[in-house]
Amino acid sequence: MSYQPTTYYNNRRQQNWSRNQNTARFSSAVKLGPVAHTVLVVLMVTVLGLIYLTQATRTTSYDYQSQAIESQIADLSTQKSDLEVENARLTSLNNVKNSNVAKAMTTPSNVQYVQQ
């Protein structure tokens, strides 16, 4: 049984092996014909296509998440504004004047100023 190496592309380094160099070469028993190659290429293209589609869809799903978060931010901003308005109303002069604390206050009969 004579040695018959599989024909592979050999780089320049391999082509210039030195004499007595301890080398080994592996030769696969599986041989692929042109149909198998074509099927493999088609499969690879299909897989790559699926990966692309998956990523593109995932980007779109992020858009929906982003939209949901923005909507939530808008709702919270509205709530914040409403609370600020309510706070301003509760601390308005009219409310302060009519509060029980203000009603219990009396006008000072005498005012003294202390100079520092």
Partner 1 sequence: MKLELLKGSRSRVLAGCLLAVAALFVVRLFYIQIIQHDYYQQLADSEQIKRLTIPAQRGMIYALNGNQPVPLVMNETVYTLFADPATVKDVQGIINTVESVAGGNARSNLDKLLTTPNSRYQILATKLTTAQAEAIKKKGLAGIGFQQESQRVYPEGSLAAQTLGFVDADGNGEYGIEQGMDSALKGKDGMLQSVTDIASVPLTIGSRNVKKPAQNGENVVLTIDRNIQSYVEDALSRQLQKIGAPDGSVIVMNPQNGQVMAMANYPSYDPSTFNTVTDASLFNNNVISLPYEPGSDIKTFTMATGVDTGVVNAQSTYNNTGVINVDGIDIHNAPGDTQFGNITLQTAMNWSLNTGYVTVAERLGGAGQDINLKARQTMYDYFYNRFRLGQLTGIQLAGELPGIIIPPSDPDGNAVRYSNMAFGQGLDVTMLQVASGFSSLVNGGKYYKPSIVAGSVDDYGNYHAAKPTTPTTYIKSSTADQIREMTHVARSSVFPGIDKSGYYMGGKTGTSQAIVNGKYSDTDTIATYLGYGGSQAETKYVIMVRVSGPKFGGSGAAAAMPVFTDISNWLVRYLNIPPQE
Length of the chain: 116
Instruction: Compute how many residues bind partner 1; rule: CB under 8 A.
Output: 22
Quick check: 52 binds partner 1 (CB under 8 A)?
Answer: no
Integer Cα distance of 13 and 99 in angstroms = 95
Quick check: 72 binds partner 1 (CB under 8 A)?
Answer: no
Point out which span in 8-16, 23-31, 47-55, 74-82 binds partner 1 (CB under 8 A). Answer: 74-82
Is-contact 21 41, C-beta < 8 A? no
Is-contact 29 6, C-beta < 8 A? no
Residue 85 C-beta: closest distance to partner 1, Å: 5
Integer Cα distance of 40 and 71 in angstroms = 47
Residue 88 C-beta: closest distance to partner 1, Å: 4
Quick check: 65 binds partner 1 (CB under 8 A)?
Answer: no
Integer Cα distance of 112 and 110 in angstroms = 7
Quick check: 88 binds partner 1 (CB under 8 A)?
Answer: yes
**Which tokens go with 87?**
């706070």
Residues near partner 1, by CB under 8 A: 56, 59-60, 62-64, 67, 78-79, 81-82, 84-85, 88-89, 91-94, 111, 113, 115
